[in-house]
Amino acid sequence: MPGPFALFKWQAVLRDWQVFAEGFGMTILVSVLALVLALVLGILFGMMGTAQTKPLRYLNRIYVEFIQNTPLVIQIFFLYNGLPYLGVMLPVFWVGMLGIGVYHGAYVAEVVRAGILSTPKGQFEAAYAQGFSYWGAMRYVILPQAKRMAYPPLTNLAVNLIKNTSVMAMVAGGELMYHADSWASSNLYYGPAYIITGILYIALCLPLATYAKYLERRLEVSA
């Protein structure tokens, strides 16, 4: 009986490279869109977390705690299996994009909130004293500074986000993990399929993670 990594299995992977390429492309697309959604939600809810009005801060806590303390898989399953009962049928691509975006938005919100809180109080006061409103101060003075603090953790978050798109495989998401798994379960060439898939994830995540480390070092130098 041939081993799990027999040569002909690798050749099969090469022959069917388009399956993997399609999944890889989908993973990138979902990652980018989900990341945009996560950033928008995260900046919005992160600012709410530092707002003077209590209800806004409560909204921030509800979102962050609810999302961070339930598994991503449940959230995806809810969108995929739960929403249809409420009459909402989302294409699986949307399920993945929304689920992953909303999930990581909660983490982005915490990073943004921490970035805002780490900006010295005097910066708000200087902006207010010049006549800026809360939002003006945020936009021109606070957020640009919080951004510098937030870049390294945000880059790490992007790495996690890319890896977490793989949960879409559980709902036939059409991304890399799904394609690799369904390809492998049809011919049982699991070994090469998973290794190639892992390498493709590394190709996306390692440069980002390295970039995050570079940003962290640069921040330490300038601080």
125 touching other proteins, by CB under 8 A: yes
CB 133 to other proteins: min, Å: 6
Q: 54 vs 121, which CB is nearer to other proteins?
A: 121
Residues with Cβ < 8 Å from 10, sequence gap 6 or more?
Answer: 192
CA distances from 120 to 50, 115, 129 (A): 13, 10, 15
Q: Closer CB to other proteins, residue 27 or residue 50? A: 50
CB 47 within 8 A of CB 112: yes
Q: Residue 152 CB, nearest distance to other proteins (Å)?
A: 16
- Residue 89 in 3-state DSSP? coil
- 133 belongs to the binding site for other proteins (CB under 8 A): yes
Nearer to other proteins, 68 or 130 (CB): 130
Q: Which phi-psi region, left, alpha or beta, contains residue 97 (left: φ > 0; alpha: ψ -120 to 50)? A: alpha
53 binds other proteins (CB under 8 A): no
Q: Could you tell me which stretch among 48-56, 109-117, 133-141, 211-219 binds other proteins (CB under 8 A)?
A: 133-141
Instruction: List Cα–Cα distances, 191 to 7, 151, 203, in angstroms.
Output: 11, 36, 19
Q: Does 91 bind other proteins (CB under 8 A)?
A: no
Contact positions with other proteins (CB under 8 A) in 135-164: 136, 140-141, 144-145, 148
Compute the least distance from the CB of residue 45 to other proteins, in Å: 23
Per the structure block, which two tokens stand in for 195? Answer: 């290794």
Closer of 123 and 182 to other proteins (Cβ): 123
Residue 126 binds to other proteins (criterion: CB under 8 A)? yes
Segments in 69-120 forming alpha helices (H): 72-77, 92-118
Give residue 37's identity as a one-letter amino acid code: L
The counts of H helices and E strands in the chain are 10, 0
Nearer to other proteins, 133 or 187 (CB): 133
Distance CA 221, CA 223 (A): 6
Q: Which stretch binds other proteins (CB under 8 A): 17-25, 26-34, 42-50, 130-138?
A: 130-138
